[in-house]
């Protein structure tokens, strides 16, 4: 049945129409609702970006305040949800726990939820944005055997997450504005990226009318892979493995070797055939954070810079248009902020939740929306007749 176009990896298939995010991979451009990512990363904060993505326009001062208040009202999770954590081993990967616990939210918000109702969809978005950081921080505290910290709603979205991660009960917590800003920027840079693997997963799962919390859990699962959101964790592990500037040449040679499956993590992108615009912002943020913390001689950062320099001058990387992507620098910043490597992809999921739910909402509101149902090119045996057991050789 050769009726369908075979397009492995969807290189040439547009799965939807969308008015949310625009990418020009050849020119290295990324816009959310028409606004360049560089401008948003510089002048907006993550809450404003969330409002923009969800509503299509930047908020007025009053709209922003109302939006932030509604998010703050929902930061706590149902007390019973605490029990879910106990079912996991303490050393479980935070992404495994995130998939399970965020998926479990569907059990708390199911019966009364009508996805055809715009207000119900909006409250689901608010709940997800508010609760995913709380759950992510709980994953970390559970892993460490630390008591969960209740959200502090007087803090900003980013500062509250760092508080839930690192604060000690009854001790004063004073957020560092440079570090909070850097963390907030990481969320902004990860907020949406059109039809990537996890977003397409959310859309496909949602196209059947499934519960939005379950759809976001599916997105988290797709994000986990090292070719997608798991790359920030893989970059750091790889830098640690390389260990020293003197070893960079050896690893570059491995990345170029056709017979070696080794890849330089944090390099290359399906869409960007130019510098990922998010990587430039992240690189500057990296300098700010390391300066603030007096870590400028950080060996890992020096190693990353050397790797970037050599790769950008190398014929192989130039010809294949492999430039550093956002994950190349975000790992170093997260490490400087004290976030453990195993939590990096959970932070990516926190940033991307707004993109997933915005894309889900756009899909559900589209009058042309149909259940996603790709076809295949069948390459198995043609029809044959069943043979009795004793007659088979």
Residues classed as catalytic: 269, 327
The CB-of-42 to ligand CMC minimum distance in angstroms stands at 21
Q: Does residue 265 sit in helix, strand or coil? A: coil
Cβ neighbours of residue 323 closer than 8 Å, sequence gap 6 or more: 267, 268, 269, 272, 274, 275, 276, 279, 312, 317
| Distance, CA of 165 to CA of 370 (rounded, Å) | 41
Cβ neighbours of residue 346 closer than 8 Å, sequence gap 6 or more: 94, 95, 98, 136, 139, 140
The CB-of-261 to ligand CMC minimum distance in angstroms stands at 9
Q: Is 221 in the site for ligand CMC (CB under 6 A)?
A: no
| Distance, CA of 346 to CA of 94 (rounded, Å) | 7
CB under 6 A: which stretch of 19-27, 180-188, 266-274, 335-343 binds ligand CMC?
266-274
| Distance, CA of 163 to CA of 27 (rounded, Å) | 38
Q: Of 242-261, which residues contact ligand CMC (CB under 6 A)?
A: 255
- Kindly tell me which residue out of 49, 104, 216, 231 binds ligand CMC, with binding defined by CB under 6 A: 231
Q: How is the chain split among helix, strand and coil, in percent rounded to 5? A: 60, 5, 40
Q: Of 188-207, which residues contact ligand CMC (CB under 6 A)?
A: 193, 196
Provide the 8-state DSSP code for 330: H
| Distance, CA of 84 to CA of 75 (rounded, Å) | 17
- Kindly tell me which residue out of 72, 228, 283, 335 binds ligand CMC, with binding defined by CB under 6 A: 228
- Kindly tell me which residue out of 130, 149, 216, 322 binds ligand CMC, with binding defined by CB under 6 A: 322
Q: Is 33 in the site for ligand CMC (CB under 6 A)?
A: no
**Strands 21-24 vs 29-32: parallel, antiparallel or unpaired:** antiparallel
| Cβ neighbours, 10 Å, residue 271 | 17
Q: Is 120 or 263 the residue whose CB approaches ligand CMC more closely?
A: 263
- Kindly tell me which residue out of 28, 229, 280, 355 binds ligand CMC, with binding defined by CB under 6 A: 229
Q: Is 5 or 62 the residue whose CB approaches ligand CMC more closely?
A: 5
Q: Are 309 and 319 within 8 A, CB to CB?
A: no
The CB-of-37 to ligand CMC minimum distance in angstroms stands at 13
DSSP-assigned letters across all residues of 348-365:
HHHHHHHHHHHHHHHHHH
**How many chain residues touch ligand CMC (CB under 6 A)?**
21
CB under 6 A: which stretch of 127-135, 202-210, 238-246, 262-270 binds ligand CMC?
262-270
| Cβ neighbours, 10 Å, residue 73 | 12
Q: Is 45 or 327 the residue whose CB approaches ligand CMC more closely?
A: 327
The CB-of-141 to ligand CMC minimum distance in angstroms stands at 26
User: What strand order describes the sheet that includes 21-24?
Assistant: 21-24, 29-32, 35-36
Q: Is 355 in the site for ligand CMC (CB under 6 A)?
A: no
Q: Is 138 or 255 the residue whose CB approaches ligand CMC more closely?
A: 255
Q: Is 59 in the site for ligand CMC (CB under 6 A)?
A: no
The CB-of-244 to ligand CMC minimum distance in angstroms stands at 20
- Kindly tell me which residue out of 267, 323, 329, 360 binds ligand CMC, with binding defined by CB under 6 A: 267
| Distance, CA of 120 to CA of 154 (rounded, Å) | 26
CB under 6 A: which stretch of 143-151, 170-178, 201-209, 227-235 binds ligand CMC?
227-235
The CB-of-203 to ligand CMC minimum distance in angstroms stands at 16
The CB-of-309 to ligand CMC minimum distance in angstroms stands at 16
Q: Is 239 or 264 the residue whose CB approaches ligand CMC more closely?
A: 264
Which pair of tokens denotes residue 233? 């964790």
The mark string for 280-319 relative to ligand CMC (x by CB under 6 A, - otherwise) is ----------------------------------------
Residue nearest to ligand CMC (CB): 268
| Cβ neighbours, 10 Å, residue 178 | 14
3-state SS of 286-314 is: HHHHHHHCCCCCCHHHHHHHHHHHHHHHC
Q: Is 155 or 217 the residue whose CB approaches ligand CMC more closely?
A: 217
Which pair of tokens denotes residue 170? 């009854």
Where does this chain bind ligand CMC (CB under 6 A)?
A: 9, 193, 196, 227-229, 231, 255, 263-270, 320, 322, 325-327
């Amino acid at each position: 049945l050769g009726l369908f176009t075979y397009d492995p990896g969807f290189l040439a298939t547009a799965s939807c129409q969308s008015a949310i995010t625009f990418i020009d991979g050849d020119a290295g451009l990324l816009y959310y609702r028409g606004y360049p990512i560089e401008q948003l990363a510089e002048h907006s904060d993550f809450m404003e970006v969330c409002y923009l993505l969800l509503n299509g326009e930047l908020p007025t001062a009053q709209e922003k305040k109302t939006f932030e208040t509604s998010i703050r009202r929902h930061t706590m999770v149902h007390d019973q949800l605490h029990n879910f954590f106990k079912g996991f081993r303490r050393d479980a990967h935070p992404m495994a726990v995130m998939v399970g616990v965020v998926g479990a939210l569907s059990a708390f918000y199911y019966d009364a939820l009508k996805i055809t109702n715009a207000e119900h969809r909006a409250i689901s978005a608010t709940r997800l944005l508010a609760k995913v950081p709380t759950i992510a921080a709980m994953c970390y505290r559970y892993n460490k055997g630390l008591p969960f910290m209740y959200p502090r709603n007087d803090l900003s979205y980013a500062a509250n997450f760092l508080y839930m991660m690192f604060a000690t009960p009854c001790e004063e917590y004073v957020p560092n504005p440079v570090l909070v800003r850097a963390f907030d920027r990481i969320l902004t840079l990860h907020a949406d990226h059109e039809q990537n693997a996890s977003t397409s997963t959310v859309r496909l799962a949602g196209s059947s009318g499934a519960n939005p919390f379950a759809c976001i859990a599916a997105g988290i699962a797709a994000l986990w892979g090292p070719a997608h959101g798991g790359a920030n964790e893989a970059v750091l592990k790889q830098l640690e493995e390389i260990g020293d500037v003197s070893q960079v040449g050896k690893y570059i040679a491995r990345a170029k070797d056709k017979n070696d499956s080794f890849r330089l993590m944090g390099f290359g992108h399906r869409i960007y055939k130019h510098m990922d615009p998010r990587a430039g912002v992240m690189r500057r943020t990296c300098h700010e954070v390391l300066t603030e913390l007096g870590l400028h001689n950080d060996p890992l950062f020096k190693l990353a810079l050397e790797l970037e320099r050599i790769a950008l001058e190398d014929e192989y990387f130039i010809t294949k248009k492999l430039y550093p992507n956002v994950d190349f620098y975000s790992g170093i910043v997260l490490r400087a902020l004290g976030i453990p490597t195993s939590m990096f992809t959970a932070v990516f999921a926190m940033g991307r939740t707004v993109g997933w739910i915005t894309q889900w909402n756009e899909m559900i509101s589209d009058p042309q929306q149909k259940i996603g149902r790709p076809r295949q090119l069948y390459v198995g045996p043609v029809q044959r007749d069943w043979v009795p057991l004793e007659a088979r050789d």
